[in-house]
Amino acid sequence: MMSADPFMTMKKMKKSIHNENNQRRFSDEQIKSLEMRFKSETRLEPRKMVQLARELGLQPRQVAIWFQNKRARWKTKQLETEFNILRQNYNDLASQFESLKKENQGLVSELHILNEERQTKQDERRHCCDGQGVVTLGSTDHESEKEENRRSEPEEVRPEMEVYEKSRHDDDDGYNNNIKREYFVGFEEEADHLMNIVEPADSCLTSSDDWGGFKSNTNLLDQSSSNYPWWDFWS
């Protein structure tokens, strides 16, 4: 393989290797055969490698190196493909999350408005009934009795008022706490868990600008690569 000339520099020796074959790059036919073989086997046994090299008029080492480089190139390409798929999945989830968040905000504000309206009506009713007895417009005796009982309850034990009052007094973090209180009554632990999953996406991950600084989730990729060898993608 190497020239025997002791005065030949490494560079010249390397160049002479190429000149011996009178070709720097493999021919289209050689590449085609190598590609076809790579599709069926990404690693060749030494015996098969020698045979293929003979068929193509190459050195076995050249075939070995070509397979090594091919595996490296293919792996890079595959990583790009996987990355694009993951990015697309992420973008879909992020937009889904955003629309759900908007819908949720709309429902919460609607609930606030309804509570305020109800409060106003109750205040009006109290005001007009002061000293005039109970007005039972549109309600049965039984219903008015229930209403009377509710009014006699202390405010803090009425659940719908609890939601509203807390929403008025919570700080910035109160938004998520309200959601938990309103929709996950009795399931606070599950709510905390869900919020922890969702909250990070609210900060950096929902912005596509942050993709440049995105540290790849090695678990995701590791998981995929540990379940099956990367070269199984051919199937």
Partner DNA sequence: TGTAACATCCAGTTTACATCA
Partner DNA sequence: TCTGATGTAAACTGGATGTTA
Q: Assign 131 to helix, strand or coil.
A: coil
- Per-position x/- string for 12-31, each x denoting binding to DNA as judged by CB under 7 A, each - no binding: --xx-xx--x--xxx----x
Least distance in Å: CB of 91 to DNA? Answer: 26
Only one of the segments 59-67, 119-127, 149-157, 180-188 lies at the binding site for DNA (rule: CB under 7 A); that segment is 59-67
Site for DNA contains 65 (CB under 7 A): yes
Binding flag, residue 38, DNA (CB under 7 A):
no
- Give the residue with the Cβ less far from DNA, 61 or 150: 61
Residue whose CB is less far from DNA, 31 or 94: 31
Q: 126: exposed, middle or buried (C-beta count within 10 Å: 0-12, 13-18, 19+)?
A: exposed
Q: Which two tokens stand for residue 68?
A: 């090594």
Q: Tell me which stretch binds DNA (CB under 7 A): 69-77, 92-100, 122-130, 192-200.
A: 69-77
Which of the stretches 71-79, 84-92, 114-122, 139-147 binds DNA when contact is defined by CB under 7 A?
71-79
Cβ proximity to DNA: between 171 and 232 the closer is 232
Q: How would you write the chain as a 3-class SS string? A: CCCCCCCCCHHHHHHHHHHHHCCCCCCHHHHHHHHHHHHHCCCCCHHHHHHHHHHHCCCHHHHHHHHHHHHHHHHHHHHHHHHHHHHHHHHHHHHHHHHHHHHHHHHHHHHHHHHHHHHHHHHHHHHHHCCCCCCCCCCCHHHHHHHHHHHHCCHHHCHHHHHHHHHHHCCCCHHHHHHHHHHCCCCHHHHHHHHHHHHHHHHHHCCHHHHHHCCCCHHHHHHHHHHCCHHHHHC
Give the number of other Cβ atoms within 10 Å of residue 4's Cβ.
Answer: 5
User: Applying CB under 7 A, does 216 fall inside the site for DNA?
Assistant: no
185: contact with DNA by CB under 7 A: no
Query: Binding of DNA at residue 61 (CB under 7 A)?
Result: yes
Q: Does residue number 66 form part of the binding site for DNA (CB under 7 A)?
A: yes
Please, which residue, 75 or 158, has the CB nearer to DNA?
Answer: 75
How many residues of this chain bind DNA (CB under 7 A)?
25
Our CB check for DNA shows the closer of 90 and 230 to be 230
Binding site for DNA (CB under 7 A): 1, 10-11, 14-15, 17-18, 21, 24-26, 31, 43, 46, 61-62, 64-66, 68-69, 71-73, 75
